Amino acid sequence: MLGLSAGHLLILTVVVLLFGHRRLPELGHALGKGAGAFKRGLEGKGAEDDSEPQINPNRLR
């Protein structure tokens, strides 16, 4: 049935009972944003805050 085993269905049932059917889209959105941020972190994108600031040599004069 859709490639889901009994264990998968049990886990899905527990998640629905814990969080409720109204909060599942919100939970999915948060997990998706977290996964995207994790991937960007692994690729090194968005790390501008950690790098040294760029100094404009014309401004020093």
- 14-38 pLDDT, tens per residue? 988 888 888 888 888 999 999 999 9
- Into how many domains does the chain fold? 1
User: What is d(CA 40, CA 52) in angstroms, rounded to the nearest whole number?
Assistant: 19
- pLDDT category at 52 given cuts 50, 70, 90 is low
Tell me whether residue 3 is in a domain.
no
Tell me whether residue 34 is in a domain.
yes
What integer pLDDT is reported at residue 60 of this predicted model? 57
Residue 11 CA neighbour count, 13 Å, CB half: 5
Tell me whether residue 27 is in a domain.
yes
> Mean pLDDT, to the nearest integer, of 50-57?
61
Place of tokens 């049935």: 1
Contacts of 40 (CB under 8 A, 6+ apart): 46
Nearest to 15 by CA among 31, 3, 1: 31
Tell me whether residue 20 is in a domain.
yes
Mean pLDDT over each residue of the chain, to the nearest integer: 80
What integer pLDDT is reported at residue 48 of this predicted model? 54
Q: Which residue has the higher pLDDT, 61 or 41?
A: 41
